[in-house]
Structure 1
């Protein structure tokens, strides 16, 4: 049994915690919502109200990390809308949050960190992307995720594995619901790079079980139909209005390779979920 702290018990963190508990691990879980504390407690998670700001972190983070060996960081950059610092767009708010977390990790019992990142750190290069590809983020969230990765990886007080997920899907989350009925959608021939919630959880389990630390993994299902093919079929499957794509040739051909995760972890994706 391992004691694991999950920073961010949201769409992925909560079901991940449930799975780890079923496998016999002890889990501390954080939320920023006081109303959610009881939800965490009811499924066997040791609940903590933790806020991580660019200026400081709440003192509860000390107890949240206490006695844990592994920390899983699963918090999104949230750089839009009310979460953005519009007064100073040059500030790296998400990176500052991770930097403020570092001293607490250093003073804790944490020896291993798993940081949930994104394949957005690669930008939209028209090529096969592997872990050896030099990141070239185009979005602000991608840029800050890459900087946050480096902050963690460069610290010698603990070992960090970076897990870069593709587009997240699940039973309650699918992009086709937002694309249904939309018109003039771009890049009809661009390949999809998706990963299902179940695979996300299973891969994290394998990294922990096999002690794959100080590493970087791209996690995307080896399933890459075009956007037009995939979302048209999914709209039919869900009885939704068909999305309409413009007929101009796509300029994005990016395919994220999953070979390393398949070979290093011996992992097989559950393609029936896609």
Structure 2
């Protein structure tokens, strides 16, 4: 299969490498020239492309032939984060609409979009794919981006990812920024390897016109998860104050299970 990965970052790059191992023809994109050179040095077919340029009148650093070749694929995987921390979240739905438009022009056949379980409200409940709401601004923007994907003429698949951790993203370091840990709160976390494995499964199963949660198989508390994470950390980090609050949302992955996916890890703790 001819697959283009838009955004060869922390998730996109290892997944592209997995696809290549499985025999797929893969192209990847990177915003910076230096990033492209690094990817090419690793043997990847990489192009320099800043998707933000689709919102402009001209495509900087990418001629039309190269653009068409990238988007004229069997599958386009969109792994571009919304950039909320960088203050770029407001333009995210418009950016995804522009990508979908370009995909339609150049004949993309299938689109997979990595979204987030941040679309689910923070309530004490098991939340399925049907429970997303515009409960805050972040969720509203993410759902608007998802809607753009659903309006595409391609076969689409939306994967809502739980909190990501793995190489260069040690969850123990998250503890530094916590004022307290609710001992009853659920750690809706998923390892990078699990996400890559699940995405590959969904591609091979040719799942389309679906929204699928990707999180860990069994839930664990935040207290247990971060306590375990600290034992795998090479820094001396202490747990913050532990409070006795209410249980928070749990991301339900029964849909993924029902499709026949076999999880790599029994829980997020096992993936540490």
What TM-score does the superposition give when structure 1 sets the normalisation length? Answer: 0.88
Task: Confirm or deny: 8 A CA contact 1:184 1:246 kept in the other structure.
Answer: no
- What is the aligned counterpart of 2:240 among 230, 244, 252? 244
How far apart, in 2, do the equivalents of 1:165 and 1:39 lie?
A: 27
- What are the Cα deviations for residues 16-47 of structure 1, in whole angstroms up to 9, with x where unaligned? 11111111111110111110112222333221
**Unpaired segments ≥5 residues, structure 2:** none
Residue 97 (structure 1) shift: 0.6
- Name the structure 2 match of 1:117: 115
Task: Confirm or deny: 8 A CA contact 1:16 1:201 kept in the other structure.
Answer: yes
C-alpha RMSD of matched pairs (Å): 2.1
How far apart, in 2, do the equivalents of 1:58 and 1:265 lie?
A: 42
Q: Does 1:188 pair with 2:183?
A: yes
**1:140-155 → structure 2 map (5 Å cutoff):** 140-155=137-152
How far apart, in 2, do the equivalents of 1:158 and 1:68 lie?
A: 11
Task: Confirm or deny: 8 A CA contact 1:232 1:242 kept in the other structure.
Answer: no
How far apart, in 2, do the equivalents of 1:44 and 1:212 lie?
A: 29
SS at match of 1:80: coil
- What are the Cα deviations for residues 218-253 of structure 1, in whole angstroms up to 9, with x where unaligned? 001023221122212221332532212342x32342
- Name the structure 1 match of 2:193: 198
How far apart, in 2, do the equivalents of 1:64 and 1:9 lie?
A: 17
The answer to which of 22-31 and 53-62 deviates more is: 53-62
- Name the structure 2 match of 1:89: none
How far apart, in 2, do the equivalents of 1:63 and 1:36 lie?
A: 21
Structure 1 residues 49 and 186, CA, compared in 2 at 3 Å: closer, same or farther?
same
How far apart, in 2, do the equivalents of 1:205 and 1:189 lie?
A: 33
Structure 1 residues 138 and 58, CA, compared in 2 at 3 Å: closer, same or farther?
farther
The answer to which of 223-232 and 146-155 deviates more is: 223-232
How far apart, in 2, do the equivalents of 1:230 and 1:66 lie?
A: 40
SS at match of 1:237: coil
- Name the structure 1 match of 2:251: 256
Count how many residue pairs are aligned between Structure 1 and Structure 2: 262
**Unpaired segments ≥5 residues, structure 1:** 86-91
